[in-house]
Amino acid sequence: MADAARAFEFVEDEDRALEEARVALLAESKRIVEALLFASAEPLEERVLGERLPDGADLQAALAALREDYATRGVNLARAGTKWYFRTADDLGWLLRREETPQKKLTRAAVETLAIVAYHQPVTRAEIEDIRGVAISKGTLDVLLETGWIRLRGRRKAPGRPITYGTTDTFLVHFGLEQISDLPGLEELKGAGLFDGRLPAGFGVPKPDDDEALTADEDPLDSDDAAEDFPLLAQMEPDAVDAADDQVESNAEFAQDIGDADGAARDDHEQDDREQVDRAHARPADGEESAE
């Protein structure tokens, strides 16, 4: 009997030691992830975070625990795709707003184009025009590329080899989405009152997919595609792209914009789009604070 009791105590001690080791490893993993994210100016990939953790550490458990720790704080841990970053709590964003000259919103054409790219990617310019029912100016695509919200994906395996477009992680971060599938579906759009029920037979909202891998009908981009097709984009410095992102003011509800994209087609406002590109290149006057 005494031997059995000692054996039972030994097992309990061993289990307790394993649990303490697990808790200690989780705590250390949380500290490492917190330090890496705090020091990084950009969202970090899960792969990068995992490479810095000790052997046997559970990255997902560390992220989940850290996210819970920060849920009620002034900054929250957020995810965009497979990237993680700290951001100001939504209810405290007003504290960080600066007094500045209001910037123009994206034009109707740019908002509709962005919504189409988000839902139909990979999509070509001709396919965007077919969905909108009206031609789009090259300036519209320039603006969306320079904000960093859309990217060149590849070339369609079709006559003329048109360029295909998709969204970026910057798009997810700007609109507060963890993944592209978080975009509202048809039922959510109906629930928001964006459709009046008089929809064509068979009407539906495609399931968005921003997988970076090229599809079977896409070829890789050529090395000079950006310079050849989008010279303004090729000339921009990374800081200028960030400035363009800061200068473009999003609509209050992106879902509203998406619903509007199914409305009647409007003429493009190419001049407005070009003015936004010019502002992205403009240098602030002496004594004025830069938009960056």
pTM of this structure:
0.57
**Taking a C-beta distance cutoff of 8 angstroms, is the pair 232, 142 a contact?**
yes
- Helices (H) and strands (E) counted in the chain, each on its own, are 13, 7
Res 263 pLDDT > 60: no
Q: Which of 137, 144, 142, 139 has the alpha carbon at shortest distance from 118?
A: 144
pLDDT of residue 30: 92
Q: Does domain 2-95 have CATH number 2.40.160.10?
A: no
Q: Quick: pLDDT tens for 184-218.
A: 888 787 777 776 667 777 777 888 888 888 999 99
- Distance of alpha carbon 288 from alpha carbon 292, whole angstroms: 11
SS3 156: strand
Q: Which structure tokens are listed for 93? A: 């964003």
Q: Which structure tokens are listed for 187? A: 């039922």
pLDDT average, residue stretch 223-248: 54
Three-state helix/strand/coil letters over 48-113: HHHHCCCCCCCHHHHHHHHHHHCCCCCEEEEEECCEEEEEECHHHHHHHCCCCCCCCECCHHHHHH
pLDDT of residue 164: 94
Please provide the average confidence, as pLDDT, over all residues in the chain: 77
Higher pLDDT, 138 or 32: 32
Identify the CATH number of the domain defined by range 108-281.
1.10.10.10
- For the chain, the structural domain boundaries read 2-95, 108-281
Helix extents (H) in 70-198: 108-120, 125-132, 138-147, 169-174, 186-191
